[in-house]
């Protein structure tokens, strides 16, 4: 029985969907597919993943909601004690673009909460098991905006830049236990977002 799992956040569409399908098809990982709201897209992606002869479990939660995220992840781990989440792809993200001068607090907070706090909310509950198993792969999907900045995206650039810095620091903390932490910064690509 295959007990290897990969959790991909924001995986019902776009980059997350493509990553989930590749991990299933090429590395034979069972997929934990996180999404926040689009049930139809999540079920469609689930069908594509299951066509690769692996299991796919839908985990509907908002990564920005710490309590909800922890509750669902801990519950899944308790029900699946034999399973090992070996790969975590922190892909969930949103944009609320606008010039900083006129940016509303809710546009600032929602982007920071999803990208930066979402990274913490999902990674933290899974880390102990990865360290105990002495194996794990954490991949953070960031953005060129986090590296060079982008006008009209101060909130997005700040969030992704912070995740880049957190990636570097966490990699130094846990790399010696064979748990790697990397960031991938795609530019503009042809996807839903």
* Three-state SS at 190: coil
Q: Where are the alpha helices (DSSP H) in the chain?
A: 14-27, 39-50, 66-79, 105-112, 118-133, 144-148, 154-174
Q: How far apart are CA 50 and CA 45, in angstroms?
A: 9
Give me the count of residues in the chain.
Answer: 193
Strand order in the sheet with 4-8: 56-60, 30-35, 4-8, 84-90, 136-141, 179-184
How many beta carbons lie within 10 A of that of residue 28, not counting itself? 13
**Displacement of CA 170 from its chain's centroid (Å):** 15
Choose the catalytic residue: 5, 29, 35, 156. Answer: 156
**Displacement of CA 94 from its chain's centroid (Å):** 12
The yes-or-no answer on residue 120 being catalytic is no
Q: How far apart are CA 66 and CA 68, in angstroms?
A: 6
Q: Which residues are catalytic?
A: 156
């Amino acid at each position: 029985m295959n007990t290897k799992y990969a959790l991909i956040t924001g995986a019902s569409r776009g980059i997350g969907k493509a990553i989930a399908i590749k991990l299933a098809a090429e590395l034979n990982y069972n997929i934990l597919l996180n999404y926040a709201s689009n049930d139809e897209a999540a079920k469609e992606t689930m069908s594509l993943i299951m066509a690769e002869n692996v299991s796919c479990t839908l985990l509907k939660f908002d990564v920005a909601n710490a309590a909800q995220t922890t509750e669902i992840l801990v519950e899944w781990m308790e029900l699946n004690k034999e399973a090992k989440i070996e790969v975590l792809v922190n892909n969930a993200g949103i944009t609320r673009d606008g010039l900083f001068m006129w940016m509303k607090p809710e546009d600032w907070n929602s982007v920071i909460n999803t990208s930066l706090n979402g990274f913490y909310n999902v990674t933290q509950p899974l880390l102990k098991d990865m360290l105990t198993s002495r194996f794990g792969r954490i991949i953070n999907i960031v953005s060129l905006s986090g590296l060079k900045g982008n006008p009209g995206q101060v909130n997005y650039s700040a969030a992704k830049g912070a995740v880049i810095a957190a990636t570097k620091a966490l990699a130094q903390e846990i790399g010696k236990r064979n748990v790697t932490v990397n960031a991938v910064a795609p530019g503009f690509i042809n996807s839903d977002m």
